[in-house]
Copies of this chain bind each other. A is one copy, B any other.
Amino acid sequence: MYQHNANSLATVFQQADYKLGGHGPRNMDILKQAFEAVDGETDADMYGQGKVIGDFERKMADYLGKPSAVFFPSGTMAQQIALRIWCDRKASKRVAYHPLSHLEIHEQRGLHELHDIEPVLLAEADRLIRLDDVTSMPEDVACLLLELPQREIGGQLPAFEELEAISAYCRARGIKLQLDGARLFEVLPYYQKTAAEICALFDSVYVSFYKGIGGIAGAILAGASDFTEESAVWKRRHGGDLISLYPYIVTADYYFDRRVGRMAHYWSGAEKVARLFNASRHVVTVPEVPVTNMFHVHIALPPEQVEEALVKVAQASGVGLSSYVKPRGDGSCFEISIGDRLDAIPEEKLKLALKQLDEALG
């Protein structure tokens, strides 16, 4: 794999007056700010019990329109467990998901190594799963996992009608549907649906609190009560039933309240920024018109050259557009996720930066 000169670009990005993606630096102020108003005498949760965890699980279950919810330290743990439960119920060891699912590329084959479950990979890596991929799945698939939006292809979304058709197909055949909702809050403005309306198409749902929400870590797994009760047993088995999870719960709750209503704003920011990127000759964003707060930037030039250009732009304009560049075929790419930081960049500075990028790419 191409070894980009991370230090140099990362450092220049770090020092830039303005940064394009995210809510802000991932530092310990995220915790300190959330705990500032917390009464120190508030009881910790104890092994999944107590007011702080119970209230948040109830709140998220209601928000997602599911009977019950369990807080997990990570989505990796929550989703493997969801798939294991559905597999056990069907006495099958097969699930289906996208070739670039988190489970496939970021979890060191945990689903196989711990649960002996094998995936059927649906669709080509560079496109969404479609209804006809689903209808041609083997019949012994216990659960289909759909990620909304599909992060590794820039955060793309199927039409809601296609989701409905996939859901109906799976329901009719006893195939469970798990929602990888790592970025579920981010898709609500595009679909113009509530979270509960989307989750109604799924049997079980995972959401994350450190993407659009901007917490420290942590996840919720929601579904029917017998499902979540079973998931809590597996949480213990995985070593995720920590004596106390409140550092993640308190911050998740704090930033959920502050940011869940801002997703349309982040989305419109992403649309604006994508337009500016697409004005450059060498650049294409995927999707061309974002459907959430995120998109990928594809540049038909080698990473060294793109990195050099980004360094130049950050130094000249004071705007860090990306802290890294990844190779992609013969070209390059990086991901942009719009959050609070965009609001701080003066419009002209941003336009100037993207104009300078176009020039620097030659």
Interface size class of A (residues with CB under 8 A): 35 or more
CA distance A104 to B26 in the complex (A): 39
Identical copies in the complex: 2
Is B72 within 8 A of A239, CB to CB? Answer: yes
Select from chain B the residue with minimum beta-carbon distance to A72: B239
Residues of the B chain whose Cβ atoms lie less than 8 Å from the Cβ of A97: none
Is A239 within 8 A of B240, CB to CB? Answer: yes
Say whether A202 faces chain B, with CB atoms less than 8 Å apart: no
Given known pairs A114-B114, A236-B107, the reply for A28 and B32 (CB within 8 Å) is no
Given known pairs A216-B244, A217-B244, the reply for A239 and B73 (CB within 8 Å) is yes
Say whether A40 faces chain B, with CB atoms less than 8 Å apart: yes
Select from chain B the residue with minimum beta-carbon distance to A114: B114
Interface residues of A in 17-59 (CB under 8 A from B): 25-33, 35, 38-44, 46
Residues of the B chain whose Cβ atoms lie less than 8 Å from the Cβ of A240: 73-74, 77, 238-240
Most buried by B among A38, A78, A241: A241
Contact among B27, B77, B114, B233 for A115, CB-based, below 8 A: B114
Is B237 within 8 A of A107, CB to CB? Answer: yes
Residues of the B chain whose Cβ atoms lie less than 8 Å from the Cβ of A33: 40
Is A26 within 8 A of B46, CB to CB? Answer: yes
Given known pairs A113-B237, A239-B72, A240-B74, the reply for A247 and B216 (CB within 8 Å) is yes
Of the A-B pairs whose beta carbons lie under 8 Å apart in the complex, a sample of 24, sorted by A's number, is A25-B41, A26-B43, A26-B44, A26-B244, A27-B43, A28-B35, A28-B38, A28-B42, A28-B250, A31-B247, A33-B40, A74-B239, A74-B240, A76-B238, A76-B241, A107-B236, A108-B233, A108-B234, A108-B236, A110-B236, A113-B237, A210-B244, A216-B246, A217-B245
